[in-house]
Amino acid sequence: MRKLNTRRQWRCMNKLLCQVCGGPAVDPESPLIPWLLTKTVFERTGLDSGRTNAPPTCWNCVPTALEQCPMLRDDFTLYTVRSVETAGVLANLYRPGIFREPIPTAHNVFVPWDASRYHPRTLAVAKVLELHGMKHVGP
Ligand SMILES: [Zn+2]
């Protein structure tokens, strides 16, 4: 999941599109959003909330994702999500070297939108959403 195409990841997160088929992930009947998560792409922030860089997966594609994604074979939890809020980015951080060349200082760290002092040294690699109203569905 960390190797998901950056442009596709942002598009899926911005428009709540399924990361497998690219169609709308929101259940038209509920309107909850099914979300398959692994421990490596999820950080709990409250009893029913947490942050992730993994896009949602529509109900139709959940079986396909479970069948074909090696990360999900080892560990997954299926939730429904009531709403989302943009939280920041996963990013690589840099500092200027002696000749102003970029020197890497951190890899794949969460940078919130309000941490503006880090922004000049941040190269975003994935958008992070905060999920609200999470309900455990399975397994
Ligand atoms: Zn889908």
Q: Which two tokens stand for residue 87?
A: 């939280």
pLDDT in tens, 90-136: 999 999 999 999 999 999 999 999 999 999 999 999 999 999 999 99
CB neighbourhood size of 116 (10 A)? 10
pLDDT at residue 68, rounded to an integer = 87
Residue 1 clears pLDDT 50, i.e. is over it = no
* Lowest-confidence pick of 7-16, 71-80, 112-121: 71-80
Q: How far is CA 68 from CA 7, 64, 75, 94, 136, in A?
A: 21, 6, 13, 35, 22
Which residue from 84, 85, 67 is spatially nearest to 76, judged by alpha carbons? Answer: 67
Q: For residue 39, tell me if it sits in a domain.
A: yes
User: Do 66 and 27 have their domain in common?
Assistant: yes
Q: What distance in angstroms lies between residue 58's CA and the mean position of ligand 1's atoms?
A: 4
Residue 1 forms part of a structural domain: no
Together in a domain, 28 and 45: yes
Distance 21 CA to ligand 1 centre (A): 4
| Distance from residue 114's CA to the centre of ligand 1 (Å) | 32
Average pLDDT for residues 77-86, to the nearest whole number?
97
Give the tens place of pLDDT for each residue, 12-33: 999 999 999 999 999 999 989 9
pLDDT above 90: percentage of residues in the chain: 86
Portion of the chain with pLDDT greater than 70, in percent: 98
Quick one: 18 and 64 in the same domain? yes
Same domain, 40 and 51: yes
111 CA to centre of ligand 1 in angstroms: 28
Kindly give the distance from the C-alpha atom of residue 20 to the centroid of ligand 1, in angstroms, as a whole number: 5
- pLDDT band for 73, please (50, 70, 90 cuts): confident
Res 3: pLDDT? 61
Residues 29 and 55 occupy one common structural domain:
yes
**Domain that residue 95 falls in:** 88-126
Q: 110 CA to middle of ligand 1, Å?
A: 27
